[in-house]
A and B are shown apart, each in its own frame.
Chain A
Amino acid sequence: MAVIRDPMPAFELFQPTSVEDAQALLRRYGAGAWVLAGGLDSFDWLKDRIKRPEAVVDLSGIPELRGVRARGDGLEIGAMTTLTEVVRHGVVRERYALLLDAAEAAASPQIRNQGTLGGNVSQDTRCWYYRAGWPCYRAGGNICYADTPESINREHAILGADRCVAVNPSDTAPALIALDAQMVIRAANGGERVVAAEDYFVGPGKDITRMTVLQPGDLLTAIRLPGAWAGARFYFEKVRDRQVWDFALVSVASAMVVGAGGAIERMRLAVNGVAARPLRLQAVEDLVRGRPANEATAAVAANLAIAGAQPLRFNAYKVPLMRNLVKRAIRGVEATTWAS
């Protein structure tokens, strides 16, 4: 029974036009169903013939899942809104530039034209052992191929590892956490629940086979941005090898409100690329409250941020990298003025 990767196996394709219809299909096919948003993560799994769903439910034809709408003093973004649509939206550009920066850092223009915000936050990890179809913990086995004395694990986790050392690849996830976004989930039974962005993601300790709280049959329908952090002082940075089509080695996203006296009134800060879920650094947020947004505050806070980090053989750099990015999020980056 030899392995072959490519081409996509056959499946049944459905294009429902309402969330209810989609969920009826998900119920009908149960574990054999696969939800298709932009498809950029899905097609990898399907073309590699590792995942073999019986039925694919394409959400692109459901109008209520698309678009950006005002909601209270904030915004509600349909989960199927493409990253390009998010980036081009006037209110996002004006008041939520953090999300704009994060979404623009994702992959490539064509991917942003097709990839959705909901898909971006819900995508699976890119651990190359897991994606190769090896039977690791995350794939239901009982080994982590990335955390052995011989593994090549430069891209893997320094925090929150629990058997699995994969990291979350999403660029928009930390930005949404920093913006205190709320994720709207429609459960299989039709009930709706809203979870905070930082609680949307799960680590391997909680559930080693999933990246998010979504259970079979659940659909992420929208992402709500509250007004509380609109227009705050934002910082986003993604460090990667290539400037296009590359996942973050470490990324940081923050929103900060600075009082008249220069002291930080409140701040939300999240990093990604260091753990299986994007991490909100609440201890750092608490620490910087009331302090000036300067180097001294940044240095103390950054050291707190990396407390407990446990590097693997090839990813020790992530510790100083995360520390420095947290620092930058707090104190900013000096502009350079080279002659040319």
Chain B
Amino acid sequence: MSYSRRNFIKGVIAGGAVATSAGYLFRGSGPLFGQTSAPGSVERLVTLNVNGQTRRVDVLKQETLAMTLRYKLGLTGTKLGCDRAECGACTVLVDDVPRYSCSVLTHTVRGGRIVTIEGLARANGALHPVQQAVVDEQGFQCAFCLPGFVMAAVGFLKTNATPTREQLAHGISGNLCRCQDYDKILTSLMRGAEYLRRSTT
């Protein structure tokens, strides 16, 4: 058999024991991670800037930002809808830019400012203007896509604070809503843009 799977597994087993990760998803105790550190490769213990806080995390090399947030840092507001960069539920801001956190290796954003849905509201609990607008307009139905949409909108509004409805639709077009409540979502996020302008002037 020349298929690589078996050989790969053999290779991994030969790789030897590894340190355990602190999180849930990749917490395994066994030798199966193959997480030996070749010279020059990334260090597993990293410092992340999430929602304005500095967090030390043990991150596997193949770990995505969504997994780190959800399973290492307890930030479950970031949802996984497809885990394949297609639905946008996992959208977070990295240096103000909306990214699919399911398709970002955590190691590649070590130096970035990461903001999730949990980091939008102020410390006193006051909602971010876009969040407030969603509440006021009763945006979203099942709301599983909500965090991703809101983060995409917040990111987009940093580049265009006065969008038309069409422009905003383009800005949040990387997010799917299966309730297909697009009209009301757009209405609430347009209201959010308005609140945001008001709050900054």
The answer, among A11, A14, A15, A114, for a CB contact under 8 Å with B104, is A114
B97:A113 contact, CB within 8 angstroms: yes
Query: Nearest CB to that of A2 among chain B residues?
Result: B5
Complex contacts, B37 vs chain A, CB 8 Å: 12
Residues of B within 8 A of A243 (CB): 173
Q: How far is the CA of A9 from the CA of B60 in the complex (A)?
A: 11
User: B158: shortest Cβ distance to chain A, in Å?
Assistant: 12
| CB-CB under 8 A for A109 and B61, given A12-B38, A13-B42, A114-B104 | no
The 8 A CB mask of A245-274 against B (1 = contact, 0 = none) is 100000000000000000000000000000
Binary interface encoding of chain A residues 92-110 relative to chain B, with 1 for a CB under 8 A from any of its CBs, else 0: 0000000000000001111
Shortest CB-to-CB span from B32 to chain A, Å, is: 8
Binds A, one of B6-14, B50-58, B192-200: B6-14
- Check B8 against A109 for contact (C-beta < 8 Å): no
A55 and B40 CA atoms in complex are apart in Å by 11
**What chain B residues lie within 8 Å of A14 (beta carbons)?**
38, 40-42
A52 contacts the other chain (CB 8 A)? yes
Q: How large is the interface on B (under 10, 10 to 19, 20 to 34, 35 or more residues)?
A: 35 or more
**Structural contact, A244 and B104, CB atoms closer than 8 A:** no
Q: Is B83's CB within 8 Å of the partner chain A?
A: yes
Asked if A58 meets B60 with Cβ closer than 8 Å, knowing A10-B12, A109-B173, the reply is: no
Q: Say yes or no for A8: interface residue by CB 8 A criterion.
A: yes
Assess the B62–A108 pair: CB atoms within 8 A: no
Interface size class of A (residues with CB under 8 A): 35 or more
Chain A residues closer than 8 Å to B103, beta-carbon distance:
39-40, 43, 114
CB distance from A205 to the nearest CB of B (A): 25
Interfacial residues, chain A to chain B (CB-CB below 8 A): 1, 6-15, 25, 36, 39-40, 43-44, 46-47, 49, 52, 54-56, 58, 60, 84, 107-111, 113-114, 243-245
Is the CB–CB distance between A8 and B62 below 8 Å? yes
- A25 vs B40: C-alpha distance in the bound complex, in angstroms? 9
Contact between B11 and A46, CB atoms less than 8 A apart: no
Within 8 A of A (CB), among B105-161: 105, 107-108, 152, 156
Q: Are A244 and B174 in contact (CB under 8 A)?
A: yes
A-facing residues in B141-189 (Cβ within 8 Å): 152, 156, 170-174
Complex CA gap A15/B43 in Å reads 11
Interface contact A110-B88, CB-CB below 8 Å: yes
Q: Distance (Å) between the CB of A141 and the closest chain B CB? A: 11
- Residue pair A108, B173 in contact (C-beta under 8 Å): yes
**Additional 6 contacts, C-beta under 8 A, given A14-B40, A54-B11, A110-B98:** A12-B38, A13-B61, A58-B108, A108-B173, A108-B174, A109-B98
